[in-house]
Amino acid sequence: MSNKLRVQELKDELAKRGLDTTGLKAALVARLDEALEAEAKKDDKASDNGASSKVEDKSTVVDKDDEKAAGKKTHARDDDDDQAAQAAPKRVKLEDVDNMLVSELKDTLAEMGCSTAGVKAALKKRLKEALKAADNGTTSKDKDKDKDKDKAIVTDGNDAVEDKKMVTTSKKGRAVLDPQLPDHIKQNFHVIEDDKEVYDAMLNQTNVGGNNNKYYVIQALEEDGGKSFFLFTRWGRVGAKGQQKLDPQSSRSHAKCSFESQFYQKTNNVWQSRAKFEPVPGKYTWLEMDYEDENAKQDQPDDVIPKKPRGPSKLKPEVEKLIKLICNINMMKQQMTEIGYDAKKMPLGKLSKSTILKGFEVLKRIAAALESKASRSTLAELSSEFYTTIPHDFGFKNMSQFVITDAPTLKRKLEMVEALGEIELASKILKPQDDDDDDPAYGHYQNLKCKLEPVPMDSADAEWIKEYVSNTHAETHNSYSLEVDQIYEVVRENEDERYKPFAGEKNRMLLWHGSRLCNWTGILSQGLRIAPPEAPVTGYMFGKGVYFADMVSKSANYCYTNHTENTGLLLLCEVALGDMRELHNSDYRADKLPPGKLSTKGVGATAPDPAQFKTLDDGVVVPMGKPKSGSKAGSLLYNEYIVYNTAQIRMRYLLVTKFNYKNWSSAWQEAKAYNFISAWRRGDSEQPLVGNARLVIGLRFRILL
């Protein structure tokens, strides 16, 4: 029976029994047959205790729980089997190592998934350790005395959708233990670390054409007392607990070598060379993690600000309230989950900057493919690469519907990666400091390096700012009204100095900028920034720059609030526009300004009435007039202002606003409006953009014109 199994299946069955998995297929078959024969002789009691007399053929396993979760067809399990069987490395004897050439040492180490770096002496030492570790995986009389201890523990989660109940996490050192580990392991073990090495890997593989969206976790574990060791692996479809295996290891070096071997098997990349990781078709991709410093405080809850600080904050109550609003990892996690990001697989703040840039780079290639009218299969391949790099939770939906085939979808994914970049910055600022235990909000405020001074709501400044909000709410954005809750005067560290060369420009305006709540820690600490070179230029209507509006609701739409989470932040910036290049239609390369021009203005059909503009004492113009019809030449409904040098921006005021949503009589009215507007934008409708259809454009559909 065993000889009908593939090499990898033989290895899996041997690993389940704690037996040696090295050697050619004939040796594996003989070893497994011997084990099966021994198991067959055992009594029923032994069988009931977990010994199996049958070999499970994984290729035929279908998860019944998946059928319930999906509500459709059953799904074959995403398991740890690679479809192509891999040849086992040729067995090398320990006594032969000293006589091997450098090339032979490297070849053998590579076959075993171990590092090939170093001089000959280091290679010999590493290979000997690997061979000893492999030998320790074979059966012996001593191990038979304590079978339960040394037997690999395999748990089948049946790919059931993860429970909504809280799963505790534990962190000792720089890595978080997998949340699905048994509690007694979390309490007594930690992830192995060596200098800068953390033996913790999250792998991802998405193939929209093959309906695959799966993960693979590998962790080398060490008991806190240093006496016991495990290799932990967990695998399955994203959104499911999947299966897991806890495999005893004889020593620390054995655990590390097993980790490196498993990493190589799943990725075809050597662990020690992962800095130059090259994705291999059909294999998993490594998601680079950003580990905190070893001395950072451990076991922090998701919510960075404790619910009950030990004493009153040094901050003014209004400022403390704002800091608690924006410096909240739970809020960030929720907002990213709502747009599809899988925060369970890759915790927010752990996604490295290089991975985020890789996400931009893949989107850039997708944009080029869309522009060249590439085939759907090409777009599917690129979409798979993006979802592998930036993990998404699609549940058990068919992956083919998530191919990125149009510009709006590309734009949404671009906004997601931008938000992840902001959170990556925020995670550095939100690291807890021992000195701030009594006043964490104050500690986070200090790290922002941005002065926030509450503006009295009955002051003259507050009155004209509220009037600016009231006057410039566009009629097509009428699914909500805006209520100003609090205003802050903003002074960012060193921003005035950077702005000085532009402070004398004749054309300076106070303009709106809106963004998701999860982005504001990064914005206030680092300023408004321009998309990196890796981002696709086609994702930006007038090129890569910082965008502003003179209609408050145009910027408010980018806060992405909803009926339940209805608080948003809006920024008023002094922008040195200088001589503007005016455009009536989109131009992805508008950032290449003609000589003498400082900015781009996208001219809209409706704009604030210049007769009602206000000029501040320092010469800054506030375009706070009520909407007035203007140019009909272009495709924009409202003005946009874009600068391509962040030194032309000085933050002035930050507004906390409530979005008060209206209750529509029926959802179909919004859907009808959405379909109409979509057709109008594609050029499929000859009807003008007027009447009821124009007025019921809801925030739900984000029709930002």
Q: What is the CATH number of the domain that holds 601?
A: 3.90.228.10
> For the residues 471-489, what does the mean pLDDT come to?
95
> For the residues 6-30, what does the mean pLDDT come to?
73
* Residue 489 pLDDT grade (very low, low, confident, very high; cuts 50, 70, 90): very high
Residue 115, domain member (yes or no):
no
- Of 338, 346, 392, which is closest to residue 213 (Cα–Cα)? 392
> For the residues 11-15, what does the mean pLDDT come to?
75
Q: Which residues pair with 454 in a beta bridge?
A: 488
Query: Is there a single domain that holds both residue 695 and residue 654?
Result: no
Top mean-pLDDT range of 129-143, 378-392, 591-605, 687-701: 591-605
Query: Is there a single domain that holds both residue 191 and residue 143?
Result: yes
The one catalytic residue in 320, 424, 640, 686 is 640
166 to 169, 179, 302, 337, 683: CA distances (angstroms)? 9, 10, 12, 16, 49
Query: Is there a single domain that holds both residue 475 and residue 609?
Result: yes
Q: Which residue range(s) make up the domain with 216? A: 61-90+136-287
* Residue 691 pLDDT grade (very low, low, confident, very high; cuts 50, 70, 90): very low
Tell me what pLDDT residue 305 has. Answer: 46
Residue 294, domain member (yes or no):
no
- 652, pLDDT greater than 60: yes
**Higher-pLDDT residue of 25, 227:** 227
Tell me what pLDDT residue 457 has. Answer: 96
Residue 245, domain member (yes or no):
yes
- 529, pLDDT greater than 80: yes
Query: Is there a single domain that holds both residue 467 and residue 590?
Result: yes
Query: Is there a single domain that holds both residue 470 and residue 552?
Result: yes
- 653, pLDDT greater than 90: yes
- Strand 243-249 with 153-156, pairing: antiparallel
Residue showing tokens 């272009």: 634
- 551, pLDDT greater than 90: yes
* Residue 310 pLDDT grade (very low, low, confident, very high; cuts 50, 70, 90): low
> For the residues 286-296, what does the mean pLDDT come to?
63
> For the residues 613-639, what does the mean pLDDT come to?
92
Residue 114, domain member (yes or no):
no
673 to 434, 679, 683: CA distances (angstroms)? 54, 10, 15
Residue 393, domain member (yes or no):
yes
Among 182-196, 371-385, 412-426, the minimum mean pLDDT is found in: 412-426
SS (H, E, C) 599-641: EEEECCCEEECHHHCEECCCCCEECCCCEEECCCCCCCCECEE
Query: Is there a single domain that holds both residue 3 and residue 68?
Result: no
First to last CA, the chain: 66
d(CA 517, CA 326): 6
Among 235-244, 248-257, 308-317, 454-463, the minimum mean pLDDT is found in: 308-317
Among 93-97, 336-340, 463-467, 637-641, the minimum mean pLDDT is found in: 336-340
Tell me what pLDDT residue 234 has. Answer: 93
Query: Per the structure, how many domains does the chain have?
Result: 5
d(CA 220, CA 180): 15
Tell me what pLDDT residue 664 has. Answer: 53
d(CA 570, CA 550): 12
Are residues 446 and 524 in contact, defined by beta-carbon separation less than 8 angstroms?
no
Among 108-117, 251-260, 430-439, the minimum mean pLDDT is found in: 430-439
Tell me what pLDDT residue 696 has. Answer: 42
Tell me what pLDDT residue 86 has. Answer: 35
Top mean-pLDDT range of 40-49, 201-210, 330-339, 610-619: 610-619
> For the residues 491-518, what does the mean pLDDT come to?
95
The DSSP-derived string for 653-665 is EEEEEEEEE---S
* Residue 677 pLDDT grade (very low, low, confident, very high; cuts 50, 70, 90): low
Q: What is the CATH number of the domain that holds 361?
A: 1.20.142.10
> For the residues 28-50, what does the mean pLDDT come to?
58
Query: Is there a single domain that holds both residue 145 and residue 265?
Result: yes
- 47, pLDDT greater than 60: no
Residue 504, domain member (yes or no):
yes
**Higher-pLDDT residue of 119, 186:** 186
* Residue 251 pLDDT grade (very low, low, confident, very high; cuts 50, 70, 90): very high
d(CA 592, CA 660): 40
174 CB contacts (<8 Å, ≥6 apart)? 191, 193, 198, 291, 292, 293, 294
Q: What is the pLDDT of residues 448-463, one digit of tens each?
A: 999 999 999 999 999 9
> For the residues 288-306, what does the mean pLDDT come to?
50
Q: Is 272 helix (H, G, I), strand (E, B) or coil?
A: helix
Query: Is there a single domain that holds both residue 76 and residue 1?
Result: no
H and E: helices and strands count for the chain: 22, 26
Query: Is there a single domain that holds both residue 566 and residue 671?
Result: no
Q: Which two tokens stand for residue 457?
A: 């709501």
Residue 204, domain member (yes or no):
yes
d(CA 452, CA 322): 9
Tell me what pLDDT residue 260 has. Answer: 94
Cα atoms found within 13 Å of the Cα of residue 628, Cβ hemisphere only: 11
> For the residues 377-404, what does the mean pLDDT come to?
84
Are residues 271 and 115 in contact, defined by beta-carbon separation less than 8 angstroms?
yes
- Of 570, 567, 650, 652, which is closest to residue 324 (Cα–Cα)? 567
Query: Is there a single domain that holds both residue 83 and residue 177?
Result: yes
Q: Is 39 a catalytic residue?
A: no
> For the residues 466-487, what does the mean pLDDT come to?
95
Helix then strand then coil, % of the chain, to nearest 5: 40, 20, 40
Tell me what pLDDT residue 5 has. Answer: 75
Q: Exposed, middle or buried by CB within 10 Å (0-12, 13-18, 19+), for 432?
A: middle
- 312, pLDDT greater than 90: no
d(CA 157, CA 179): 13
Q: Last residue of some domain: 287, 318, 341?
A: 287
Q: Exposed, middle or buried by CB within 10 Å (0-12, 13-18, 19+), for 123?
A: buried
- 164, pLDDT greater than 60: no
Q: Average pLDDT, whole number, for the chain?
A: 77
Among 15-29, 35-49, 263-277, 653-667, the minimum mean pLDDT is found in: 35-49
Are residues 426 and 349 in contact, defined by beta-carbon separation less than 8 angstroms?
yes
Cα atoms found within 13 Å of the Cα of residue 319, Cβ hemisphere only: 23
> For the residues 416-423, what does the mean pLDDT come to?
84
Amino acid at residue number 402: F
Residue 101, domain member (yes or no):
no
- The Cβ of residue 96 has, within 10 Å, a number of other Cβ atoms equal to 12
Cα atoms found within 13 Å of the Cα of residue 535, Cβ hemisphere only: 23
- The Cβ of residue 89 has, within 10 Å, a number of other Cβ atoms equal to 18
To the nearest 10 degrees (0 to 180), the angle between helices 317-326 and 440-448 is 80
Q: Which two tokens stand for residue 681?
A: 């934008």
Query: Is there a single domain that holds both residue 406 and residue 461?
Result: no
Q: What is the pLDDT of residues 583-601, one digit of tens each?
A: 999 998 999 999 999 999 9
Query: Is there a single domain that holds both residue 251 and residue 194?
Result: yes
Q: What is the pLDDT of residues 51-79, one digit of tens each?
A: 333 333 333 333 333 333 333 333 333 44
Phi-psi region of 640 (alpha: psi -120 to 50; beta: other; left: phi over 0): beta
- 415, pLDDT greater than 60: yes
